[in-house]
Amino acid sequence: MRGTRGIFDERPSFGAGPPCRNGTGPSLLDDCRARRLSLGVEAAGGGRRHVQATGAGPMGAVDFEIFVDELATVSGQAILPFFRTALGVEDKSRGAVFDPVTAADRAAEQAMRALIRRTFPSHGVRGEEFPDEGIDADYVWVLDPIDGTKSFISGMPAWGTLIGLCRQGQPVYGMMHQPFIRERFTGDGQQARYRGPAGDRRLTVRHCGGLGEAVMMTTSPLLMEEDNRALYTQVEKRVRLPRYGGDCYAYCMLAAGHVDLVIETNLNDFDILPLTPIVQGAGGIVTNWEGGTDLTSGRVVASGDRRVHDEALSVLNRG
């Protein structure tokens, strides 16, 4: 959910520290294959549950992907019965910017949490709708059951379920799942893929020579504080085409090569950490407005071409 923050001041964050690997070194899935990485799979009642894959140890790359797919499937099964129905909407904002939550959000997160606890009891979980669990663990799942709840309650399909995995505080795998459209975008910082009605293919960002050629997206400038909105507007004046809305879909369209730049503020960690490995895996860049890797300010710039990124940062920092 975008538009209301404060989470970073209250809970440990996962965006700070060294950047996720991109372009050099093994990916998470490579670690599973080549280095026999165990993600701590334990059988109910104790003991190890050895799920073998070719060339892998206790949990292999194929098994990991199957598990994340299962998380996406159970969340989608919880959400879809509510979509485009007369469901109740609660406002979490307490008088601030409207921040809706529905029974679908809570049902989906509960379903994912239950599956993670059953399969990975040693892992932590950080989600939007329920308290943190074990977030000092080496592996922490970051969940946003419906990113784009305002679109969801409006009957628009520009929303998705975000599933991320952080290792020692750094995002190493992410998925965006849209169960209504049946699209899944995944990435591990080294590669990114799309699966859906259009087939199964690798995601790659596109080249763009500068802001004057760029398609830019943001959820809404109205969600920005006045000073941030003024800086954002200076970038918007320079791009070829600005577009509003999209939430998580904006980042996935950037990874797919349809959008060149995304600029946002007031993001919580569960809004952006699952998307970061997808953008980076497709060859894109994700930083804060100052160009650093610490995303805890909630001010994020994502782009598919370094030239666009640098030009946008230059404009944002002139003020």
Contact assessment for residue 208 and residue 307, using Cβ atoms and an 8 Å cutoff: yes
Q: How far is CA 127 from CA 20, 49, 270, in A?
A: 21, 26, 7
- Decide the pairing of beta strands 241-244 and 215-218: parallel
**Closest-CA residue to 109 (of 157, 64, 162, 156):** 162
Start-to-end Cα distance in the chain: 28
Q: Please tell me whether 213 is known to bind a ligand.
A: no
Contact assessment for residue 41 and residue 119, using Cβ atoms and an 8 Å cutoff: yes
Q: Please tell me whether 99 is known to bind a ligand.
A: no
Task: Identify the burial level of 62 via C-beta atoms within 10 angstroms of its C-beta, where 0-12 means exposed, 13-18 middle and 19 or more buried.
Answer: middle
Q: How far is CA 177 from CA 187, 201, 227, 264, in A?
A: 12, 15, 33, 21
Q: Please tell me whether 128 is known to bind a ligand.
A: yes
Q: Please tell me whether 271 is known to bind a ligand.
A: yes
- Residue 106 makes CB contacts below 8 A (sequence gap 6+) with 129, 130, 145
Give the strand order in the sheet containing 160-167.
124-127, 139-147, 160-167, 170-178, 183-187, 192-196, 199-202
**Closest-CA residue to 14 (of 142, 115, 178, 122):** 142
- Between CA 57 and CA 138 the distance in angstroms is 18
Phi-psi group of 235: left, alpha or beta (phi > 0 → left; psi -120 to 50 → alpha; rest → beta): alpha
Mark the binding-site residues, compressed into ranges. Answer: 128, 144, 146-147, 271
Mark the binding-site residues for Mg(2+), compressed into ranges. Answer: 128, 144, 146-147, 271
